[in-house]
């Protein structure tokens, strides 16, 4: 008997957070049984009036037919679908396999993430109006979450916060917390890899809306204030896919930009602190996990560390406004004992709670939950 994992084929060559989570799920499930994988392709379509939720991918018919054939042939003990984007495939399998255990890994609670990201595109003063404009699309996204859950035997989420959110939209399926993984490279990194200079690091996919807003806030509001306190402080923006507008912004403010870095360890090696003024998004942030794992002090909003159960003042330092960010960053940069305390506490916490052993146990419990007799 085997497990079957179903993922959406990615368009990019480099690993995204989604691919890292999918890969970790595959490896952890492999500890308990053999695992087969299938990747479904997104259907190319220009149909904008399909009635499909924006969070759901149109899938190629041939891929779904191949999935059904594999299930009939392999007879898996359970199928794990990676994200609500695969709703079309989940419903197709459930129609022909009414008793087969199906797990849906929510990754993010997509309806909430969709709403937050669309609202973030509007000026702050216009967001109440935007919420009204988006009502129909958000309802469709919530309904997609409910439909995929209705087909599922159980659900996986990244955090207790996401479990509560899933339950708040009327989903009554068993929900298991399977945390995001620590990126493998950071597990091998030294806790002393960070520099003692004045580099403030921001890492993230630079084509992602919430990250672009965070870089803008760092460049235009936080760093000018910080440099008035500490003239030697420098901003280093590091990540994939920066657009021309962001490149011009980073250059204009005198910051350093590393596009499509082959090795993030090099970025952390020159950083004294990482700043994450994130205000939108979902799931739990890999950028926080990797920074803590390599021993880089973190200054972040509560939103940026949502779902990680970090204690402000012990594992990271919290800041919400540009004024708070500049003051807290200055404190970290000027206080070597504080940096050391944050490094040690953050690294110990993340390795204990998000390391391989903890995640493997979470997957074991989640798999056991679908196989217990009802």
pLDDT in tens, 337-352: 999 999 999 999 998 9
pLDDT of residue 50: 61
Statement to judge: residues 29 and 156 lie in one domain:
yes
Taking only the tens place, the pLDDT of each residue in 156-186 is: 998 888 899 898 888 989 999 999 998 888 8
What value does the mean pLDDT take over residues 6-20?
Answer: 75
- CATH number for the domain including 320? 3.40.50.2000
Statement to judge: residues 245 and 272 lie in one domain:
yes
Q: How confident is the model at residue 229 (pLDDT cuts 50, 70, 90)?
A: very high
Statement to judge: residues 360 and 350 lie in one domain:
no
More confident position, 188 or 230: 230
Decide if pLDDT at 9 tops 90.
Answer: no
Statement to judge: residues 119 and 149 lie in one domain:
yes
More confident position, 48 or 302: 302
The beta strands (E) that lie in 262-331 are given as: 273-276, 298-300, 317-318
Q: How confident is the model at residue 194 (pLDDT cuts 50, 70, 90)?
A: low
289, 187 contact by CB (below 8 A)? no
Statement to judge: residues 83 and 229 lie in one domain:
no
More confident position, 265 or 281: 265
Statement to judge: residues 173 and 277 lie in one domain:
no
Decide if pLDDT at 303 tops 60.
Answer: yes
What value does the mean pLDDT take over residues 289-297?
Answer: 92
pLDDT of residue 174: 93
Answer positive or negative: Cα dihedral of 56, 177, 29, 147.
negative
316 CB-near residues (< 8 Å, 6+ apart) = 288, 292, 297, 298, 299, 300, 305, 310, 342, 346
Between the CA of residue 216 and those of 133, 224, 322, what are the distances in Å? 26, 12, 11
Say how far apart CA 167 and CA 155 lie, in whole Å.
11
Decide if pLDDT at 195 tops 50.
Answer: yes
Statement to judge: residues 256 and 336 lie in one domain:
yes
pLDDT of residue 374: 39
Q: Which letter does DSSP use for residue 221 in this model?
A: I
Say how far apart CA 344 and CA 337 lie, in whole Å.
11
Which tokens is 283 given? 């799931």
Statement to judge: residues 116 and 86 lie in one domain:
yes
- Percent of the chain surpassing pLDDT 70: 93
Statement to judge: residues 68 and 168 lie in one domain:
yes
What value does the mean pLDDT take over residues 207-230?
Answer: 92
Decide if pLDDT at 31 tops 50.
Answer: yes
Domain hosting residue 208, numbered range:
185-354
pLDDT of residue 49: 57
Statement to judge: residues 13 and 67 lie in one domain:
yes
| CA-based R_g, the chain, Å | 21
pLDDT of residue 370: 81
Say how many domains are in the chain.
Answer: 2
Say how far apart CA 154 and CA 250 lie, in whole Å.
44
Decide if pLDDT at 11 tops 80.
Answer: no
Taking only the tens place, the pLDDT of each residue in 69-101 is: 999 999 999 999 999 999 999 999 999 999 999
pLDDT of residue 373: 41
Statement to judge: residues 203 and 73 lie in one domain:
no
Decide if pLDDT at 283 tops 60.
Answer: no
Statement to judge: residues 80 and 170 lie in one domain:
yes
Taking only the tens place, the pLDDT of each residue in 105-132 is: 998 888 888 888 787 778 778 888 888 8
pLDDT of residue 65: 96
């Amino acid at each position: 008997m085997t497990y079957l994992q179903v993922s959406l084929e990615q368009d990019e060559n480099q690993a995204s957070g989604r691919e890292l989570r999918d890969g970790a799920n595959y490896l952890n499930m492999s500890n308990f049984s053999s695992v087969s994988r299938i990747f479904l392709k997104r259907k190319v379509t220009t149909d904008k009036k399909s009635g499909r939720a924006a969070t759901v991918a149109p899938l190629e018919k041939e891929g779904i037919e191949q999935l059904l054939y594999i299930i009939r042939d392999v007879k898996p003990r359970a199928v794990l679908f990676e994200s609500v984007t695969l709703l079309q495939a989940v419903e197709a399998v459930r129609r022909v396999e009414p008793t087969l255990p199906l797990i849906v890994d929510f990754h993010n609670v997509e309806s909430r993430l969709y709403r937050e990201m669309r609202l973030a595109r509007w000026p702050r003063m216009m967001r109440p109006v935007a919420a009204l404009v988006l009502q129909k699309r958000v309802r469709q996204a919530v309904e997609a979450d409910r439909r995929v859950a209705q087909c599922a035997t159980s659900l996986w989420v990244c955090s207790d916060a996401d479990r509560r959110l899933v339950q708040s939209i009327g989903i009554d399926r068993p929900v298991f917390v399977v945390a995001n993984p620590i990126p493998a490279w950071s597990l091998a990194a030294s806790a002393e890899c960070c520099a003692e200079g004045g580099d403030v690091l921001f890492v993230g996919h630079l084509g992602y809306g919430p990250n672009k807003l965070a870089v803008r806030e760092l460049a235009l509001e936080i760093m000018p204030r910080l440099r008035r306190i500490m003239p030697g402080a420098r901003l280093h923006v590091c990540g994939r896919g920066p657009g021309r507008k962001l490149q011009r912004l980073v250059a204009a403010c005198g910051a350093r930009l590393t596009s499509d870095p082959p090795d993030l360890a090099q970025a952390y090696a020159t950083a004294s602190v990482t700043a994450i003024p994130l205000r939108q998004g979902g799931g739990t942030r890999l950028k926080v996990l990797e920074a803590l794992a390599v021993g880089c002090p973190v200054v972040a909003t509560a939103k940026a560390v949502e779902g990680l159960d970090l204690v402000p003042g012990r594992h990271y330092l919290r800041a919400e406004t540009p004024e708070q960010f500049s003051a807290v960053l200055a404190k970290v940069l000027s206080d070597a004992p504080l940096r050391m305390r944050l490094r040690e506490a953050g690294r110990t916490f993340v390795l204990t709670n998000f390391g391989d052993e903890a995640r493997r146990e979470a997957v074991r419990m989640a798999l056991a939950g679908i196989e217990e007799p009802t």
